[in-house]
Amino acid sequence: STNHKDIGSLYLWFSFIMFLTGGAMAMVIRAELFQPGLQLVEPNFFHQMTTVHGLIMVFGAVMPAFTGLANWLIPMMIGAPDMAFPRMNNWSFWILPFAFTMLLSSLFMEGGGPNFGWTFYAPLSSTYSPDSTALFVFAIHIMGISSMMGAINVIVTIVNLRAPGMTCMKLPLFVWTWLITAILLIAVMPVLAGAVTMVLTDKFFGTSFFDTAGGGDPVMFQHIFWFFGHPEV
């Protein structure tokens, strides 16, 4: 379907499934922390749960839920027949299940899934991480592409498809918040893509963006990551 309500519902259902998935990982984390010492899982698996829980909750539960609400509400609030690019809207949703399937499948790889916290600070993520880091990076790329397409759709819809007489100052506050959010997403998702790509090349292709031995700077990773992180939040 290219109907904005159907796609909004798909986003919301997907978000709910991811919320339960991430919640199950949180239950593993809390059960393990219930008493001091090891009870249930190995330390490495605990770190994997922490990392994937964070990624799934942020990129899989929170962001698609807000995007689903945008799909449902913005066209109705501004008097538009649909989103500006219905087919791109469809695509930006349907690449998400594949991204998260890839992220979750990394847990079954040799060496386990990503185990470096949801902020994946270098050099832990770029040097001392398992090979599944490559799947994690690709999954983040696909989520970023989805977010940027959704944001482009929102901006063009709000700018071009308002009903006659609906000036910017008559827009509901929800529509304004999404306009600002979409602009921020387009500004910062490529920065995250750059950061994870540098992590990827540091790990597999011998670059030294974040490796001090090669003249790199781990603190630069934090600056780049939070340049993405705060506007995204």
pLDDT in tens, 9-48: 999 999 999 999 999 999 999 999 999 999 999 999 999 9
Provide the domain limits for residue 169: 4-230
Q: At 128, which CATH number?
A: 1.20.210.10
* Residue 233 predicted with pLDDT over 90: no
Is the peptide bond prior to 114 cis by the omega test (within 30 degrees of 0)? Answer: no
Integer Rg of the chain from CA:
19
> Could you count the other beta carbons within 10 Å of the beta carbon of residue 43?
10
What pTM does this model have? 0.94
How many Å apart are CA 67 and CA 202, to the nearest integer? 33
In contact, 209 and 198? CB cutoff 8 Å: yes
How many distinct structural domains can be found in the chain? 1
Per-residue model confidence (pLDDT) at position 177: 96
> Could you count the other beta carbons within 10 Å of the beta carbon of residue 176?
13
Per-residue model confidence (pLDDT) at position 225: 96
